[in-house]
Amino acid sequence: MCRSLERTGVCVGVDVKRSNMNQALSSVRILDLTHMLSGPYGSMILADLGAETIKVEPCRGEGTRNLLATDPNHSLDGMGAYYITLNRNKKSVAIDLKTEQGLSLFKDLVKCVDVVISNFGAGVAERLGISYPSLSAVNPRIITCTVSGFGSDGPGSKRPAFDQVAQAMGGGMSITGLDREHMVRAGIPIGDLGGGMFAVMGILAALYERERSGVGQHVDISMLDCQISMLNYMATMHFMSGVDPYPVGNSHFVHVPYDTFSCSDGFIVIAVITDNFWKNLKQVIRSPMFDNAKYDGQPGRWEGREIINSTLNTVLSTNTCKYWLSLLEDKRIPCAPVNSLSRALADTQVLHRNMVVDLKHPNGRATKGPGNPIKLSRNAEEIFTPAPMLGQHTDEVMSQLLELSTEKITQMRALGIIR
C-alpha cells in the first residue's frame, strides 16, 4: 500500500513513471473521473502542463470513447476526435466503483494523489461514496473538483445541463446572432469549455492555498456561474440601464466601423475603436463619403454607421482580402480575415506558437489537433502522449503506485473489479 509524504501527499516508494520534470505541474497527481467535454477539457489542460493524470474509467469505458469512434471521417483506429483530443497525456485505469472492492481500491489511490476531478450529475459522487467529505477522511490534503451545470446547491442544482443549456440560461445566447428574432449559440461550445477552464483556475488556487494551510478543499464549479461571470461588463451595463441588450450581429454597440465586411474573395473584420484608427482608415479607403468632419469622432460615426458600413462594403468588394489586409495592417488598423478552420490552423503565427500538434494513437498512428495555449518561459517543454486504450495503465498503476502483487491484480480482474 502506498505511503503519503506529509507535505506533498505523493506516494513514497516505487513510483509510476511521472510527467517530464521540466513541466510546471510535474509534482501534481490527479485522478480524473470526467466524461464528455467540460471536465475532460479541464483535466486535459492540467495534463498538458505536466500533471500526472490518471483517468479512472468504468470497466465498460468512459462514454466519450464511443463518440465518433466509428465515423470514417472523424476517428483514428477506433478513437473518435473527442477522445483522442481530450485525453492526451493521460493514463487509463478501469475500476468498477460500484463494488465495495473497487471503491476501496479507489480510496487507496486517493491517498496517493493531490486532486480528484469529476463532472458527474448532482448527487452522483455522494451516492458513489467519493464526495469531498468521504475522500478527505482518507487524505486530508486531497482537493476535489466537480464541474456541473448548476453547482452543488441551490434550487436548480439537480437539473441536467449540457453546453447549449448553459449558454441559453447564462444570457450569452440572447446577445449572439443577427437580431432579436435570430439568436444563436456560440459556435465554440463555450458553456462546456468555460466550465473546464474555470475548473483549472479553481484547482490551481486550491493547490496554492494548500501550501499555506496544509489541507485540501472542494472546488465547486457551475457552468451557469461561469457563463454569468463571462457576461462581465455587459451585466454591469444592464444593472445600470435596466435594458436587456439584443444581438447586433458582428457589429458593436459603441464602435464604428466594427464589423465583418465583404471583399471580392471573402470576408474581413475591421475594428476601429479610436479616432486615430479612423484617421488611418480614411487614408486606406480614400472615399469622399468619409470626408464628413463629424465622422472624426465616435458619436458622429455612430450616427452615420449605416453609410460608413455600406461604403466600406462597396469599396472593399473591389479587391481581395489579401490586398486590403496588407494596406490595413500597414496602417496598424485592427483587422483580420474571417478564417475557415483550415486556414486558421494553417496560419503561420498559429504554427509558430506550436498550436497545432500531433495527436497520436497508442498504435503509433497520428492525426493533428490544437496545442497548449499556456506558454511558460522556464517550463516551456511541451509533451503530448497518446490518449490511452481502456485500462491500458491499470497494471502499471496498481503494481507501482499501490504496490499490489501480480496475483492480486489478476484476482481482481477475474472478479470484474478492474479491467
Residue type, 110: V
Q: Is 218 helix (H, G, I), strand (E, B) or coil?
A: strand
Calculate the dihedral angle through the C-alpha atoms of 307, 313, 319, 325, rounding to the nearest 10 degrees.
Answer: 90
Q: Under DSSP, is residue 406 helix (H, G, I), strand (E, B) or coil?
A: helix
Helix residue spans in 222-320 (DSSP H): 223-231, 233-241, 275-285, 298-303, 305-316
CB atoms within 10 A of CB 69: 18
- 74 among known catalytic residues: no
| Coil, helix or strand at residue 271 | strand
Cβ contacts of residue 91 below 8 Å, gap of 6+?
16, 52, 53, 54, 55, 388, 392, 393, 396, 397
Residue 173, phi then psi, degrees to nearest 5: -65, -30
* Coil vs helix vs strand at 263: strand
Reading the block at residue 193, the C-alpha cell is 469549455
Catalytic residue among 35, 218, 238, 252: 252
Within a 10 A sphere around the Cβ of 261, how many other Cβ atoms?
21
How far is the CA of 230 from the CAs of 111, 184, 194, in angstroms? 36, 17, 9
Q: What is the set of active-site residues? A: 252
